[in-house]
Chains A and B, each alone.
Chain A
Amino acid sequence: MKIMTCPLNGPRNIAEFVCAGEVKAMPDPAACSDEEWAGYLFLEANPAGLIVEWWLHAPTSYWFIAKRDTVTEQIVATYTVEQFFAQARAAA
Chain B
Amino acid sequence: MPFALLKHALRRPPAAEAYWPQPGELGQSYDVVIIGAGGHGLAAAYYLAREHGIKRVAVLDKGYLGGGNTGRNTTIIRANYLTPEGVAFYKESVELFRTLSAELDLNLMYSERGHLTLAHTDAAVRTARWRAEVNQHLGVDSSLVDPDEIARICPQLNLSRAVRYPILGALYHPPGAIARHDAVAWGYARAAARLGVELHPQTEVTGLVIERGRVSAVETSRGRIQAGKVLQAVAGSSSLVAGMAGLKLPIRTVPLQACVSQPLKPFLDTIIVSGSLHVYVSQSARGELVMGGSTDPYPLYATRSSLEFKEGLMGPMLELFPFLAEVKVLRQWAGMADMTPDFSPVMGLTPIENYFIDAGWGTWGFKATPVSGKRMAECVATGRQPALLEPFALERFERVELVGEKGAASVGH
Contact = CB atoms under 8 A, between A and B. Distances in A.
B341 interface: yes
Contacts, number: 61
B239 A46 contact: yes
Contacts of B240: 48
A19 B400 contact: no
A38 interface: yes
Interface residues of A, number: 25
Interface of A is mostly: mixed
Interface in A36-55: 38-39, 41-48, 51, 53
Nearest to A43: B248
A48 B301 CA distance: 6
* Chain B binding surface, main DSSP class: loop
Nearest to A20: B298
A19 B299 CA distance: 9
Contacts of A18: 297
A43 B360 CA distance: 12
Contacts of A73: 300, 302, 304
Interface residues of B, number: 23
A26 to B, nearest CB: 16
A53 B304 CA distance: 21
B253 interface: yes
Contact of A39 (B239, B248, B252, B307): B248
A51 B298 CA distance: 11
B301 A42 contact: no
B397 A21 contact: no
Given A38-B398, A48-B240, A73-B302, A19 B297 contact: yes
Contacts of B251: 44, 46
Contacts of A34: 398, 400
A71 interface: yes
B308 interface: yes
A35 interface: yes
Contact of A44 (B239, B300, B398): B239
Interface of B: 239-240, 248-253, 297-302, 304, 306-308, 341, 397-400
For the complex of A and B, the 8 pairs showing the least CB-CB separation, nearest first, are A19-B298, A46-B239, A42-B250, A43-B248, A48-B301, A42-B397, A38-B398, A71-B301
Interface of A: 1-2, 14-15, 18-19, 21, 34-35, 38-39, 41-48, 51, 53, 70-73
Given A1-B308, A39-B248, A42-B341, 19 more contacts: A1-B307, A14-B297, A19-B299, A21-B252, A34-B398, A38-B399, A38-B400, A43-B397, A44-B239, A44-B249, A45-B239, A45-B248, A46-B252, A48-B240, A48-B253, A48-B301, A51-B299, A72-B302, A73-B304
